[in-house]
Structure formats: structure tokens, C-alpha cells
Amino acid sequence: MRLDNKVALITGGAAGIGKATAERFAQEGAIAIICDVNEEAAREAVKTLGPQASFYNVNVADRQAVQAWVDDVVAKYGRVDILVNNAGILRDSLLVKVKDGELVKQMAEVDFDMVLAVNLKGVFNCTQAVAPVMIRQNSGVILSASSVVGLDGNFGQTNYAASKAGVIGMTKVWARELGRYNIRVNAIAPGFITTEMIAGMPENILAGMKERTPLRRLGRPTDIANAYLFLASDEASFITGVTLRVDGGIVVGT
């Protein structure tokens, strides 16, 4: 029971890594409070998390909605011990596509803005909302989802890479700013994980991912959830400002 009675907020908790993390935290005694925009899936997910678990319909890009969520949790429980910034989206496209010297396609500005709004500003919104609570209680753990793409880049993912690299930068800043208040801030950089996000990829692409991974398999959501659990627990009490790769050893190629 490494998280016994800890109040843990998990964004994007309806499916995939977020759901697995909420379940793992609940198994270790945490009060798991998830938010997501997929209400139907989230209400099903929360049924597995114990009687104290709850779901909020929150878009992390909506600053007012995030603040209302955190305020309500604090009103009910009096504290926030753990924040997992997991919510994220993809809108992949080449920066530019040229044929016979002519521009035929490019990444849409709306797709760039949307990915940054959820994956980067969403992390900012949630962290800024919980930080004063954690400062007052002189304790807390903030964990955020980066990606190997934020470290290595990846073909067709300008917006996603920018958002996930930004998460790494913010993690380092916040570790320095919040450490004096006994708040630890770390990030996880998953490799390719078998979630709904990659379920629609062609089989040959998935096979190529496995081939480039030294462990010769894709990651499971529980692989990431276990890493979050370690970093959230007191076993990681002297770890802050770190981005932990959980990727089977992959280096994303060109």
C-alpha cells in the first residue's frame, strides 16, 4: 500500500495509460480521481477504482474547468498529494509535403494549436492549479507524460514532439521552483505503448516499432503505470527533475 490514502488526480484517466495508472494507484491505496472528456468510458473506468474514486468531465486545455476541478477536490478531501498529467492527443502530419517542387500539403495550424493546447498547456494548467495546494501542505508529487518523441523527434510529429519536449523543459523548471516546498516533479517518456492511440496503425508499422525495440515488444500500459507508481511513492523521495524513459530501449529512427 505504497500510496495509502493519498489523493491522486489523473488526467486522461478513461483509457490507456491513464486508466492503467489510476487502477495501479488504487491497488496501492490511493484515492483515484480521474478527469477525461470521454464521459462514457470514464464512468466505466471509475467503477474499478474503489468506492472513493470519482470522475470529472474536464478538458485540461480549459483553464477555468481545471481550476474548478481542483477546487472541488480540495473542498472534498482537503489536499492533493499526487498529480499525473497524462491527457494527450495526436494530430500527425508532415510539416510540408512537396510533389514536383510544388507544395501539396502541410500541417494545419489548427492541428498544431490543438496538440499544444492539450499536451503542453493542459500540463501547465493542471500543475499551476495544484501547486498552491501542495505548497500549503508542504508536500506533493507532480508527474507528467512526455514521450521518446519529445527526446528524439519523429517523422510527421512536429506538433507532438514540440509539446512533449516542452513538458520536459517545464518539468526541469518546476523541480527547481517547487523543491523547496518538498514537491517532487518528474516526467515519464514512454516508447510505443499498446493503447487506443496506436490501435489504428497498420500492422507493418507496428512490426517495425517492435523491430526497432531491443526488447522486441511494444510496451503495455501497466509498464508506464508501474513507473508512475514508483515515482509517486516514497521510494523515489530523492528523485526530482528527471525524465524517465520507459521504452524498451528504442531510439526513434528517421
92 in a structural domain: yes
Lowest mean pLDDT among 128-132, 140-144, 166-170, 206-210: 206-210
- Residues contacting 205, CB < 8 A, separation 6+: none
**Which DSSP letter does residue 33 get?**
E
| Residue 188 contacts residue 228 (beta carbons within 8 Å) | yes
> In 15-147, which residue ranges form alpha helices assigned H by DSSP?
16-27, 39-46, 63-77, 109-116, 122-137
Task: List the grid coordinates of 214.
Answer: 531491443
Range of the domain at 208: 7-246
pLDDT at 218 over 60: yes
252 part of a folded domain: no
Longest pairwise C-alpha distance within the chain: 62
Residue 81 bridge partners (DSSP): none
| Cell numbers found for residue 161 | 514532439
Prediction pTM value = 0.95
Whether residue 183 is contained in a domain is answered as yes
User: Considering only 20-29, 41-50, 135-144, 235-244, which range has the smallest mean pLDDT?
Assistant: 41-50
Could you tell me if residue 66 is inside a domain? yes
C-alpha cell at 239: 528523485
Find the catalytic residue in 56, 77, 160, 228.
Answer: 160
- 160 annotated active-site: yes
| CA 122/CA 60 separation, integer angstroms | 5
Please name the residues in contact with 44: beta carbons below 8 A apart, sequence gap of 6 or more: 14
Give the Cα separation of 147 and 88 in Å (integer).
Answer: 11
Residue 186 placed within a domain: yes
* Alpha-carbon span 64 to 60, nearest angstrom: 9
pLDDT tens digits, one per residue of 19-34: 999 999 999 999 999 9
Task: Determine the Cα–Cα distance for residues 11 and 82; give it in Å rounded to an integer.
Answer: 11
Report pLDDT digits (tens) over 37-75. Answer: 999 999 999 999 999 999 999 999 999 999 999 999 999
Q: What is the CATH number of the domain that holds 113?
A: 3.40.50.720
Q: Tell me if 165 is assigned to some domain.
A: yes
Q: How far lies 106's CA from each of 52, 94, 103, 138, 254, in Å?
A: 47, 6, 8, 47, 19
Q: Which amino acid is at 28?
A: E
Mean pLDDT value across residues 116-141 = 98
126: left (phi over 0), alpha (psi -120 to 50) or beta: alpha
Hey, how many other C-beta atoms are within 10 angstroms of the C-beta on 96? 11
The answer to whether position 72 is within a domain reads yes
SS3 content of the chain, % helix, strand, coil (to 5): 45, 20, 35
| Any domain includes 251 | no
Task: Give the pLDDT of residue 254.
Answer: 47
The number of folded domains in the chain is 1
